[in-house]
Structure 1
Amino acid sequence: MSLNTLRLKLINIFNIKTCTKLNLPTIYFTTNCNLNISTFSTMKRTANSQSSSVKKQKVLAGFPDSKKPNNESVAGVTQFLTKIQSNRLEAGDSIIDFQFKKKRVRILSEATDVPENADAILYWMDRDARVQDNWAFLFAQKLALKNEIPLMVCVCPGPKYLSLRLYKYMLSGLEEVEKECRNLNINFHLLLGEAPKEIPKLVKQYNIGAVVCDFSPLRLPVKWVNEVKDSLPAEVPLTQVDAHNVVPAWVASDKQEYAARTIRNKITSKLGMFFTEFPPLIKHPHSYKTKAEETNWKAALDYVVNTLKCDMNVDDVDWATPGYVGGMTQLLDFCTRRLKNYDSKRNDPTLDVISNLSPWYNFGHISVQRSALEISRLKSKYKASVEAYCEESIVRRELADNFCFYNEKYDSLQGIASWSLKTLDDHRKDKREWLYTQEELETSKTHDDLWNSAQIQLVKEGKMHGFLRMYWAKKILEWTKSPEEALNFALLFNDKYSLDGCDPNGFVGCMWSIGGIHDQGWGERPIFGKIRYMNYQGCKRKFDVPAFVARYGGKVYSKKK
């Protein structure tokens, strides 16, 4: 079947009338064949994916072989998205009909009220780059509807990422956001410059009455939010909504938590209030007098390349389709094919069991809360797996945000606990049997074929299995000159290559492996001190190491000790 024939079949399933009625993104389902190739590829990979049992495969876990798309698989995605929109409508016709939890919101400015002469409300989108299932976007629309004025969105790409791979993923997702905003009568502006300079200009140009921003605990977003606050007109309020966590970070805890066990009850006890269905973001009834010009995405990419400066040699990958539809397709595949074995098999990198949703979470293309809602509907069938996934995606993920929110040194050994800092320092001068340079590690040239294979996976596919990431980071500690060098290398590789890099979970993952945060002291040993240790033999007891090595081709390189 040709690509054009398949496009026409998709159009027959997803017609404009249906998309308009359901507020679905019609960009994929028009007679101009606007189904983008990357989304088509995702559907291609997930077609015919129903499986009755987990099988050992010499393929990357979570990245199944491409299969031809068919009407059944496309209809499955259609039905899934339609059902989710139906659930939104049951929660409320719009945000006005929904009981919005005020604790999701922080007013950051002295101004608190929208001026009577305001011409629009602005949502400054950053961490949560999606239209639906976005509490910050919904709150902005609530303000705009209440004041009967237009709603606008702006994005300011910042120097957050180290490689072209991550910037391309970000821009592709935003291209989908722009098209959906246009369908919903919401002006979209991509501002090529620093937010503290560009947003105040936009506010003055369009007589904005209030700015709503989403939440990130990381250093640059926090800095920009504070600078924007100081640069806005005195009468324009700036409010922040945590659209990333189920329980807002400032509600979950008012301090840095020691471990998952200390934050778990604080989060789970509040799920009754916050773990709710989303209402729909609707077509906005109030239009601005002029439409925003369509974004020049080529110019945006040129800006990233020439101004923000990133590694051009690390280009995009083809398995993870950016955007909401790509992410929801991956979620559906996880729910229908892999979730049932998640509890018992998720630590085996040779099996196709994990969700692989972290890239879409990282860029905000889909909501963790939406995923948890859909997965929780299957609790009667897969109780242990659903509970395990919610522990990872809600408790552990929000623990990472907590650490970065309350610890400014979240990417430095100065931010770890005193016991772990002492034990690493005590063993700083221990003899290293193996020492590797940054180049040797980055190019997968160590004596350990499993480690090399994991690094190859990261470089080529932009993601590494979670269990292997722990082993990978701990070996960097063992094979480098100092704990500081180890952490620097681990963060560099993760943020440069991984689609879920430059994220609190990445920082915390490396800090857990190398600095022992959110962990306890273990039996003392050379180099590691009391930091938890992992080794090759332990991996062999967990999974089929030769099978994983065969998939990625990691070799054993000899080196003088």
Structure 2
Amino acid sequence: MIDSRRLHNLNNCPIRPGPVVYWMSREQRVADNWGLYHAQQLALERQAALLVVFILADGFLGATLRQYGFMLQGLEQVARKLDGLNIPFLLLEGEPRHSMLQFIAQEQTGCVVCDFDPLRIKRQWFDGVAAAATVAVLEVDGHNIVPCRIASVKREFGAYTLRPKLRRVLPEFLVSIPQVVQHPFAWKKTVAIPDTEQVQIRLKPDAGVGVVPGFRPGEQAAFEALADFIAQGLNGYASRRNDPTVHGQSGLSPWLHFGHLSPQRIALAVATQGDSEDVEAMLEELIVRRELSDNFCLYCASYDTLDAAPDWAHRTLEKHRHDPRRFCYTQHEFEQAATHDLLWNAAQTEMLETGKMHGYLRMYWAKKILEWSESPEEAISTAIYLNDRYSLDGRDPNGYAGIAWSICGVHDRAWGERPVFGSIRFMSYDGCKRKFKVDEYIRHWRK
């Protein structure tokens, strides 16, 4: 059974006769999917068909071929797996609110189960459908181990305030995940597996950022990557994770972002490895830090602007707004990795070529954008543009929270005052040299 605390009613309409729709969005998988599982339970109780609907929004937040290609290949795998369970998968295109409301009316659906997502545009989609629909719209948080709305009812100051709230209830939620089964009630229509190559051609996503070769999307690839991390990467994780010159991070973020892999599945797999510094470090990143990002985006509507800055950070950035910049670059120069800083250029090049950037360097990368931009607002805009355009895990709460931490002091405290940054935490090239072999990293990624 699903814990009722994972559920949130988005309207007060009843569940009516008709097929149950699972509106897949953030959780693009069949296994370990609380939303899909709950939708099936509702359908079984009512002896109704279960339909899975995914709506493709054209040009979603500037996504490119890199992101669309990864997502569509994963969705085709989802469709095939669902087909084997007698659950039709429908890939719709268009403005999501209109498309879903039209589908509800056309197919006379009984209710809609949707994923939890704290991002503003997704909230507008789900809330918009819930407000206009005449059937129940239910949200299921299948992304956070402790559901975001349950973990806290307000924006948290930092990990130190959210951590104890999570730990108090974590044992209640870190449980085995029930799986979807063969569905006994067929839908009246026959649905073909979507031809995602043709869909991609029709969508015409920006091909200026191509796919990452050799990086496989989908649940199977995600499970293999998790198994490899447990076997090869967990031991020594605490000491290696901040060194960009070694393979010290989990590398799971793209699959997490697209919902090909459940965070709860990762946590269960890691937790079975016993008590160690490595296990503790991984669970801190996976649970506390990741769920803090969801909390930030849910309770701060301006998560992608300077308005997200805490009062002390806003004051100090305003005080130093007109400080002279030794270097100042345009968005295009940043995009081309054409700064004077070879380390920054190498980090940007890594993202351009692989769709990923080491987590420690993401902080340095964003802080230098602040240092070399004409204003904090321009720095935020540039950092979000680059991250969302080139990272496979762009347009994600982790990305917005990380940029806000680096530039706006979110989830941080005031440090020593200096030009441009004011009291925002500073990171330097020399500081990086004390952490890892900077020259080795630059040689690897230098154009």
- Is the shorter-chain TM-score for this pair beyond 0.5, marking a shared fold? yes
State the one-letter code of the partner of 1:143.
L
Q: Is 1:100 aligned to residue 7 of structure 2?
A: no
- Distance in 2 separating the partners of 1:304 and 1:252: 38
Of residues 411, 414, 434 in structure 2, which corresponds to 1:518? Answer: 411
**Could you say which residue in structure 1 is the equivalent of 2:162?**
263
Matched, 1:243 2:136: no
8 A contact 1:122–1:140 mirrored in 2: yes
**Alpha-carbon distance in structure 1 between the residues aligned to 2:250 and 2:40:** 31
Give the structure 2 partner of residue 111 of structure 1: 13
- Superposition deviation, residue 206 in structure 1: 2.4
The one-letter amino acid paired with 2:258 is F
Distance 1:298 1:450 in 2: 37
Deviates more, 1:319-328 or 1:365-374: 319-328
What's 1:451 paired with? 344
What is the SS of the residue equivalent to 1:326? helix
Alpha-carbon distance between aligned partners in 1 of 2:153 and 2:93, rounded to the nearest angstrom: 35
Counterpart pick for 1:343 among 225, 232, 238: 238
- Describe the SS at the equivalent of 2:235: helix
Instruction: Name the SS of the counterpart of 2:155 in structure 1.
Output: coil
Q: Which runs of 4+ in 1 moved over 2 A?
A: 204-207
1:437 maps onto 2:330 in alignment? yes
Whether 1:195 and 2:83 are equivalent positions in the alignment is: no
For 1:177 and 1:162, locate their aligned partners in 2 and report how far apart those are by CA, in whole Å: 21
Letter paired with 2:235: K
TM-score by length of 1: 0.78
Q: Structure 2: how far apart are the matches of 1:303 and 1:516?
A: 42
1:219 to 106, 120, 127: 120
Is 2:228 aligned against 1:333? yes
Residues 53-77 of structure 1, C-alpha deviation per residue, up to 9 Å, x if partnerless? xxxxxxxxxxxxxxxxxxxxxxxxx
Q: Write the distance in 1 (CA, Å) between the matches of 2:232 and 2:171.
A: 29
SS where residue 61 of structure 2 aligns?
coil
The Cα of 1:161 is off from its aligned counterpart by 4.0
Offset, 1:213: 0.2
Alignment-mate amino acid for residue 248 of structure 2: V
Preserved CA contact (<8 Å) 2:33 2:179 = no
Tell me whether 1:208 sits opposite 2:109 in the alignment. Answer: yes
Q: Among 174, 182, 185, which residue is 1:283 paired with?
A: 182
Deviations 1:315-354 (A, max 9, x none): 1102421110111111111110011011111100001111
Quote the Cα distance in structure 2 between the aligned partners of 1:240 and 1:550: 48
Q: Match of 2:53, SS?
A: strand
Out of 438, 442, 445, which is 1:549 matched to? 442
Identify the residue that residue 39 of structure 2 maps to in structure 1.
140
Matched pairs, number: 445
State the 1:300 CA deviation: 1.8
Quote the offset at 1:244 in angstroms.
0.6
In terms of Rg, which structure is larger? 1
Q: Which residue of the partner structure matches residue 85 of structure 1?
A: none
Counterpart Cα distance in 2 of 1:208 and 1:140: 12
**Secondary structure of residue in 1 paired with 2:250:** coil
SS of aligned partner of 1:250: helix
TM-score (norm 2): 0.98
The partner residue of 1:168 within 69, 90, 93 is 69
C-alpha distance after superposition, 1:504-545 (max 9, x if no partner): 000010110011100000000111100000001111110011
**Is 1:297 matched with 2:199?**
no
Equivalent position of 1:364 in the other structure: 259
Query: What runs of 5+ residues in structure 1 fail to find an aligned partner?
Result: 1-98, 555-561
Q: Provide the residue aligned with 1:56 in structure 2.
A: none
- Select which of 534, 540, 551 maps to 2:427: 534
Aligned-pair identity in percent equals 44
Query: Quick one: distance in 2 between partners of 1:168 and 1:296?
Result: 12
The superposition leaves residues 450-508 of structure 1 with CA deviations (integer Å, 9 ceiling, x where unpaired) of 11000000001000000000001111111111111111111100000001110000001
CA distance in 1, matches of 2:55, 2:11: 20
Distance 1:176 1:160, change over 3 A: farther
* Match in the other structure for 1:471: 364
Q: Distance in 1 between the 2:268 and 2:167 partners?
A: 14
Give the drift of 1:199.
Answer: 1.4
Maintained 8 Å contact 1:161/1:167: no
Question: 2:56–2:92: 8 Å Cα contact kept in structure 1?
Answer: yes
Q: Distance in 1 between matches of 2:186 and 2:363?
A: 50
Aligned to 2:396: 503
